[in-house]
Amino acid sequence: MSLLSRWESIIEAVVEGGFRRLFSPRLQPVEVARALERVMTRQKVVGPASVDVPNEYFAHLNPTDFERFASFRGAVERDIAAYLHRRASEEGLRPIGPIQVHLAINPGVRRSSVRAEARFTDPIRGFEPQHVELTRRLEAVAAAPSARVLVVDGEDGQQLHVRRQPVRIGRGPDNDLVIRDIRVSRHHASVEPVVGGWIIRDLESTNGTYVDGQRVLETRVDAGAELSLGGYRLILRPG
């Protein structure tokens, strides 16, 4: 890393850490995800045929923050890995293997801060980049059973059939499913049907997207899963 890059990293850590301690005393999974995304981008390696990025990530947390995530640590690690895969695909980056995320205790990290680390580890034989998997997943949607989103606590009990494309849900009138509730962000989440279930993605909402009580960035769910968009409940059922 160049001297300039080191100074940029130090300044970013000081500024972000200070604001986080002042205005957001409780660390959120989305902050961990974005810290790891920045490390992924910084450590990209430009090759003759692709731009490669690390595939193993470590988020070093203060013991107090780690304890808050301990009961659903596995879900947080999986959701962040899915998020990094998606961001890499969107930016044309190629992880050299399946992305793995690890939350780790580090007493040297201040509360509400993240020390992000990324490594290139040996890829698993037969691994294909995420953009290939995403293409196959989207092609497989044609074979997926129809599904619908049932508004459980909505005033009119509206339903929406989800078929071949992701469906966007939010408060804004340009969404596929409009929920006029102040707890729901203008563009809150998307639902994409895949074989045997759905992919749920949070669209950087203010109050978060929850699946069965756990906050998620992106995750796969089965029929009957309960979603909460900032407190507004939905249940996914097969069509």
Give residue-wise pLDDT tens across range 13-35: 544 455 444 445 688 898 999 99
C-alpha 193: how far from its chain's center? 17
Give the CA-trace dihedral at 120, 124, 126, 127, to 10 degrees. -50
pLDDT on residue 128: 46
pLDDT for 165: 63
Could you give the angle at the alpha carbon of 194 between the alpha carbons of 199 and 207, nearest 5°?
15
Please tell me the predicted confidence (pLDDT) of residue 214.
83
- Which of 133-147, 172-186, 202-216 is the least confident region? 133-147
CATH architecture of the domain with residue range 3-119: 2-Layer Sandwich (3.30)
Q: What is the mean pLDDT of the chain?
A: 77
Mean pLDDT value across residues 86-106: 89
Average pLDDT, stretch 186-214? Answer: 84
**Domains of the chain: which residue ranges?**
3-119, 146-237
Angle CA 35–38–43, to nearest 5: 130
Domains 3-119 and 146-237 equal at CATH topology level: no
> Which of 105, 115, 78, 100 lies closest to 214 in space, CA to CA?
78
Return all residues near 103 (Cβ < 8 A) that are at least 6 apart: 32, 59, 61, 66, 69, 73, 76, 77
Per DSSP bridges, beta strands 226-229 and 147-151 are unpaired
Inform me whether the pLDDT recorded for 148 exceeds 80. Answer: no
Model confidence at 57, pLDDT cuts 50, 70, 90, reads: very high
Is the pLDDT confidence value at 138 over 70? no
**Pairing state of beta strands 218-221 and 197-202?**
antiparallel
Q: What pLDDT was estimated at residue 235?
A: 82
Q: Is 20 helix (H, G, I), strand (E, B) or coil?
A: helix
The second-level CATH assignment, the architecture, of 146-237 is Sandwich (2.60)
Residue 22 amino acid letter? L
Inter-CA distances, 219 with 13, 56, 63, Å: 29, 19, 26
Q: Considering just the CA atoms, what is the radius of gyration of the chain in Å?
A: 19
